[in-house]
Structure 1
Amino acid sequence: MARVSQAQAQENRDRVVRTAARLFRERGVQAVSVADLMAEAGLTHGGFYKQFASKEALVAEATGRAFGDQGARLATHDHDHPGDRAAARNALLETYLSPAHRDDPGTGCPAAALGPDIGREDPQGPAREPYAHGVEQFARWMAREDGGEDLAAIATMVGAVMLARATKGTPLSERILEAAREALG
């Protein structure tokens, strides 16, 4: 069997991390096996351990990737509302606290989708640091004009999405999203 080039190996690794970031948010970390992940990425199961020391190491890297993707989405709101943080923040609240975001955890906020899994992880687990860093970055972006961080807004948003997902299919789900939009608007 021919060896893959370094460039191809890096591309494969990136594909696995991207796929893991999506699948872990969609299904939860424990529900995604290495075999499932590699099949979804279109690679062989045996290639996993050539790229990653463990599934836990991949969870940490995928968590960082998911928050990086979220940062890019936040930058889009800034770009769409140049110099107007309040408008960018309001635009984010409308999309974040929406049925569309509730129904698409795979491409949605990693704080809401990965929080329960990271919370069950060993406190010294490798995904804690990228998760905490991502939440801090998100809270800084959400800050109003004072330049601090808005952890209360993040806690409200993440909690609302988690509750709305857990009550999806009931009238309560929509009411939760609406209540959070009103509280933060």
Structure 2
Amino acid sequence: MKVSKEQAAQNRAKLIETAARLMRERGIDGVGVAEIGKAAGLTHGALYAHFPSKEALAAEALAFGLERGHRRLITPRDGRMPELGEVLDGYLSEERRNDIAEGCAMAASVSEIGRQDASVGERFALGLEQMTSVFASKLDAHVPETQRRERALTMAVALIGAISASRAVMKAQPELADEILHAVRQSIDTIAAQPRGDKQDAHR
């Protein structure tokens, strides 16, 4: 039975959304295409009708998760754009850390990306650039452009690493897991509040 274009588009979207969730929960290498197809209510063959390989699906699933995370950073709250502190508090919250399926796609996949196809790595790099740009836009306007990007990139990488490390020790040492979130949150505040010219002064 021939599938309409509309139904085919819906099936493709369902596969991407399902793959994104399962790959966040279990890792890219921890879930197979057959399982993804079944969870999406589609056959193994239907999946390959939309994606030539698991790598192609993984790249699209990661892109979907990254776009979802990006919208969280830029969506207005109560009619205004969220301030940097609000974004940081949300990202480094215990709730967000504990909910892997709904959490940051980069934090969930960072340890695997280097072993994946270049197309997957390209999606990750784009997501990191987007996060960096958002943070840079929220820093003090007087911070020079070179320092702005450097600080924003440091923040983005610190956030991703904090969630990943906190999850890694959560079962064994929950207090350490919480300490990681708190320590990184405090450190990022220091980076964000650093006055203009501090870096140059430090080298004199």
Normalised to the residue count of structure 2, the TM-score between the two structures is 0.82
Which residue in 2 is equivalent to 1:94? 89
Which residue in 1 is equivalent to 2:2? 3
- Note the 1:19-168 alignment, pairs <5 A: 19-76=18-75, 78-80=76-78, 82=80, 88-122=83-117, 125-143=118-136, 144-146=139-141, 148-149=148-149, 150-168=152-170
What RMSD, in angstroms, separates the aligned Cα atoms of the two structures? Answer: 1.6
3-state SS, counterpart of residue 126 of structure 1: helix
3-state SS, counterpart of residue 10 of structure 1: helix
Gap runs ≥5 in structure 2:
190-204
Which residue in 1 is equivalent to 2:179? 175
Matched to 2:125, the amino acid is A
Gap runs ≥5 in structure 1:
none
Q: Moved runs in structure 1, 4+ residues, more than 6 A?
A: none
| Inter-partner Cα distance in structure 2 for 1:40 and 1:88 | 37
Which residue in 1 is equivalent to 2:15? 16
CA gap 1:114/1:81 in 2 versus in 1, 3 angstroms: farther
What is the identity percentage for the equivalent residue pairs of Structure 1 and Structure 2? 38
| Inter-partner Cα distance in structure 2 for 1:25 and 1:73 | 17
| Inter-partner Cα distance in structure 1 for 2:16 and 2:108 | 16
Greater CA radius of gyration, 1 or 2?
2
Q: Give per-residue Cα distances to partners, 1:54-106, cap 9 Å, x unaligned.
A: 00001111111111101111122x444626xxx52111111111111111122
Number of residue-to-residue matches in the alignment: 178
| Inter-partner Cα distance in structure 2 for 1:118 and 1:70 | 17
Higher relative contact order (CA closer than 8 Å, sequence separation 6+): 1
